[in-house]
Structure 1
Amino acid sequence: MLGEPYAVIMLHTAACRQYVYSCPQKLPFGKHFWFVCRRYGILVDPIQVVSLFLKDPYSWPAACLVIVSNVFIFVALYTERKLAMGSISEKVGLLIYIFNLTVILCFPMVVVLKLPSITPVGGAFALGVYTILFLKLYSYKDVNRWCRERTQVKARSLSRSLSCPSSPSVSSRMQSHVSYPGNLSLRDMYYFVFAPTLCYELNFPRSESIRMGFLLRRLFEMLLLTQLLVGLTQQWMVPIIRSSMKPLQVCSSALSSFVPNHLIWLIFFYCFFHSSMNFVAELLRFGDREFYRDWWNSETITYFWQNWNIPVHKWCLRHFYKPLLRIGAGKLLSQSAVFFASAFFHEYLVSVPLRMFRLWAFMGMMAQLPLAWFVARFLRGNYGNAAVWLSLIIGQPIAVLMYVHDYYVTHCQDDPTISEAL
């Protein structure tokens, strides 16, 4: 499985060579890239990326915002300890959690919208951290509540099984086995916060040791692919985006952006879900390495969304979809609710950092519902797989150009320096 993402990118590259109408000049994508280099020169500037995060070198607003997130972690841990001791009731604990989780989403949004020194990239990074923390603490709340309920129902049987090990091997396992409420420690909490998972467990699967060779390979991939992403964006995507600001160039720019946008997305997927998450997992000796499945073989839209981001899929299944089914909601309603929540977070992570609300990301996600029905109903096999790939190759560039265009009109149209550059 380690080599499969490499194969996907190479197959995509080979297929793109046949996509000769992806730009106004009707050039294959390699020649189009060379054409952009000749026309605009070498635009790659790694130092320029730093300015996307920091305007003032003495002010790190996004980093400070991330550091403040520790307050919400302490509130969640303190609440769980009080619930375990019986100092507060379940209703009071639930109210504290509702307040804490609501503030986790609202506080960074207000700061990003009101603080001009936070750039769109810095704001997106901070909001991404808070969104992950929201999902983690929600899972933390649910699992500890399940432990309390199980303890109340099976207190006698659990105490008997834990106090009477039958063999030395069982005894040795119990020494490392954590049971509730022994998991309510600062170390356990922060291990979960940094672990590459959104679903909390009292006892995560752990590897025996850190493999330095594996760790260094993932680190090398992260550094190399990050530079490649920056270079492709500056050299290939930026000129296309600039040309899209000119009259009568929007359609041709959209066609030209299909290939580079999707190639950048594929490289980002590998860098984040394979290199970065495996690096963190190896560093923490985290045993569960299933971060993605074979989404590139998807014959339905539903299969794609279930397999391209396993941590989010597991969270939605465990803490959202199945609880809705248990309270009597139908399967279709539960699936629609999951897509609605996903659409909300997509829009939250895009519109707030850009400081504009256009709902393109939200509508794009909600459009997946009828598209999923259509593909599952009328397309099979390779035709379904082609429909999935077309939705990825065409949908994302259009959404990117729509946001870039609206951002330019909203924030940059009156700036003569930016207008001349475009």
Structure 2
Amino acid sequence: MADAPQGLLGVVVAASYWPIGAAAEGAGPLPRLQRGLRGARGAILRWPGRAEAQQWANAELLRQRRRRERRRWGQGSGGERGERGRAPGLGRETAERSLMGTSGPSSSFPSPPAAPSRTRRYRFLLRHRAGPCWGRVRGKGARTGCHRVQESLLSSSSGYSNYRGILNWCVVMLILSNARLFLENLIKYGILVDPIQVISLFLKDPYSWPSLCLLLVANVFVLVALAVERRLAEGSLSEGLGTALHALNLLAILCFPAGIVLIVTSITPVGAVFALGSYTITFLKLFSFRDVNKWYRERRGAQKAPPEAAGAKKANGDVGLKVVTYPDNLTYSNLYYFLFAPTLCYELNFPRSPRVRKRFLLRRLLEMLFLMQLLVGLIQQWMVPTIQNSMKPFRDMDYSRIIERLLKLAVPNHLIWLIFFYWFFHSCLNVVAEVMQFGDREFYRDWW
């Protein structure tokens, strides 16, 4: 057994030296490999299973002989091997004998069995490895199959969250179902869309404009709020008295338009809704205007503002964007910019966009016009006939028919609300913001 380590060491050393370039005949890595293999053969003959070991050693030696012969006689490609070429009439056995320095096969190294071809090895692996996904083994411990322990995608423990395909399928089903209902409505009622009728929703009498007059009166409450804030900034009004005046002004904003709508009979429902909505927005804006100015008054009382904060100058001497400070913000232009800006939170200095994007503005305007006509058409064509047909079940208190009519109204109602959301919060507010160069365009978040 003492020769075994030396023999195995010879095999390892020879295998490590073999990839180095070709050597002269009778010298270089080949004699080292021969000596190593012979030493290994002499050592492993004394091991159990020596027949298998001897067969492996002989096969390894033959493989090394063939590689050496290819390199020497030009069976490979490129480099020095291609320039040597192969002698005419020199067969593989003759080359091997010439290489080993013998005229015949060595008696101490019997010819080993031929190594199995790649096709035979692949067939053997296919017989012992079932499955279409099994691939070639790249290394020890490499995965050789396509199966592993895992959960189904729709299981809660799988961690899968990309349901975009199901969402697309739901959209397709929604479009198909709504298209069927719309086609059924057209077959049953015909075309009921009348653009001229939309004007009568805002005006009953062309010479009477109560909604517009109600909107113009809102300026009175705005000027009262500005006057109170100016007196508070000058110190001519106490904080308690100013709070009471603001409370009365805000209460009047809520009560006055409601009373006018109830008293004036010539006002239309759509015009009344528009006027009441505008007054509600004005109430929220003036409430924020009062609170922010109060905070700045308290801060000014605690510490004086730095004098250089009122304006900034560029390096070339031109006056840059002026920073407004309290109480310089109590002007008509500042307050009315806030009233028309698409926000309910007041600030002294709003973020501004550098320019007006004309193409963006034109796209939003076209969206406004198209979606407005679509909303009116859906209401006239889809919802109005259904509401008219729902009056009799409500009078007779037929609950099954009432539930059926409400479910029938649910589909167009949801569709109209979604279109209205996009029309108002995206198209309309972006148009106003683009014209006023208002920089903050986050009018909505992903509520869906």
What is the TM-score with the length of structure 1 in the denominator? Answer: 0.62
Q: Name which of structure 1's ranges 28-37 and 189-198 shifts more when overlaid on structure 2.
A: 28-37
* 1:86 partner amino acid: G
Aligned residue in 2 for 1:159: 306
Which of 133, 136, 144 is equivalent to 2:293? 144
Aligned residue in 1 for 2:225: 76
Aligned residue in 2 for 1:345: none
* 2:217 partner amino acid: V
Q: Structure 2 CA distance, aligned partners of 1:218 and 1:38? A: 34
Aligned residue in 1 for 2:384: 238
- The correspondence of residues 171-320 of structure 1 with structure 2, limited to 5 A, is 175-247=321-393, 248=398, 249-296=401-448
Seen in structure 2, the aligned counterparts of structure 1 residues 279 and 164 have a Cα distance that, compared at 3 Å, is: closer
Seen in structure 2, the aligned counterparts of structure 1 residues 29 and 183 have a Cα distance that, compared at 3 Å, is: same
- Once the two structures are TM-superposed, the CA of residue 14 in structure 1 deviates from its matched residue by 2.6
Q: Structure 1 CA distance, aligned partners of 2:376 and 2:406? A: 20
**Higher Rg:** 2
Structure 2 unaligned spans of 5+: 1-166
Aligned residue in 1 for 2:53: none
Q: Secondary structure at the match of 1:146?
A: helix
1:60 aligns with 2:214: no
Aligned residue in 2 for 1:120: 269
- Once the two structures are TM-superposed, the CA of residue 163 in structure 1 deviates from its matched residue by 7.2
Aligned residue in 2 for 1:384: none
Aligned residue in 1 for 2:34: none
Seen in structure 2, the aligned counterparts of structure 1 residues 286 and 17 have a Cα distance that, compared at 3 Å, is: closer
- Once the two structures are TM-superposed, the CA of residue 160 in structure 1 deviates from its matched residue by 5.0
- Once the two structures are TM-superposed, the CA of residue 259 in structure 1 deviates from its matched residue by 1.3
Q: Structure 2 CA distance, aligned partners of 1:49 and 1:32? A: 24
- Once the two structures are TM-superposed, the CA of residue 173 in structure 1 deviates from its matched residue by 7.8
- The answer to whether the 8 Å contact 2:296/2:326 transfers is yes
Q: Name which of structure 1's ranges 52-61 and 100-109 shifts more when overlaid on structure 2.
A: 52-61
- Once the two structures are TM-superposed, the CA of residue 37 in structure 1 deviates from its matched residue by 1.2
* 1:284 partner amino acid: M
Which of 169, 172, 175 is equivalent to 1:14? 172
- Once the two structures are TM-superposed, the CA of residue 11 in structure 1 deviates from its matched residue by 7.8
- Once the two structures are TM-superposed, the CA of residue 15 in structure 1 deviates from its matched residue by 4.1
Runs of 4+ in 1 over 3 A off after TM superposition: 9-13, 167-175
- The answer to whether the 8 Å contact 2:314/2:320 transfers is no
Q: Structure 1 CA distance, aligned partners of 2:223 and 2:169? A: 47
Compare relative contact order (CA 8 Å, sep 6+) and give the higher one, 1 or 2: 1
Q: Structure 2 CA distance, aligned partners of 1:146 and 1:216? A: 40
* 1:262 partner amino acid: H
- Once the two structures are TM-superposed, the CA of residue 140 in structure 1 deviates from its matched residue by 0.2
- Once the two structures are TM-superposed, the CA of residue 162 in structure 1 deviates from its matched residue by 2.8
Seen in structure 2, the aligned counterparts of structure 1 residues 212 and 11 have a Cα distance that, compared at 3 Å, is: farther
Aligned residue in 1 for 2:195: 46
Aligned residue in 2 for 1:35: 184
- Once the two structures are TM-superposed, the CA of residue 171 in structure 1 deviates from its matched residue by 8.8
Q: Structure 2 CA distance, aligned partners of 1:125 and 1:35? A: 33
Q: Structure 1 CA distance, aligned partners of 2:307 and 2:213? A: 48
RMSD, matched Cα:
2.2
- The answer to whether the 8 Å contact 1:16/1:29 transfers is yes
- The answer to whether the 8 Å contact 2:281/2:344 transfers is yes
Aligned residue in 1 for 2:236: 87
Q: Structure 1 CA distance, aligned partners of 2:323 and 2:295? A: 18
* 1:269 partner amino acid: F
- Once the two structures are TM-superposed, the CA of residue 255 in structure 1 deviates from its matched residue by 1.1
Structure 1 unaligned spans of 5+: 1-8, 19-27, 297-422
What is the TM-score with the length of structure 2 in the denominator? Answer: 0.59
Seen in structure 2, the aligned counterparts of structure 1 residues 176 and 12 have a Cα distance that, compared at 3 Å, is: farther
- The answer to whether the 8 Å contact 1:16/1:259 transfers is no
- Once the two structures are TM-superposed, the CA of residue 169 in structure 1 deviates from its matched residue by 6.0
- Once the two structures are TM-superposed, the CA of residue 13 in structure 1 deviates from its matched residue by 4.7
- The answer to whether the 8 Å contact 1:72/1:104 transfers is yes
Q: Structure 1 CA distance, aligned partners of 2:425 and 2:244? A: 35
Q: Structure 1 CA distance, aligned partners of 2:310 and 2:251? A: 40
Q: Structure 2 CA distance, aligned partners of 1:211 and 1:55? A: 38
- Once the two structures are TM-superposed, the CA of residue 181 in structure 1 deviates from its matched residue by 0.6
- The answer to whether the 8 Å contact 2:310/2:322 transfers is no
- The answer to whether the 8 Å contact 1:229/1:268 transfers is yes
Name the structure with the higher helix share: 1
- The correspondence of residues 383-422 of structure 1 with structure 2, limited to 5 A, is none
- Once the two structures are TM-superposed, the CA of residue 116 in structure 1 deviates from its matched residue by 1.0
* 2:206 partner amino acid: P
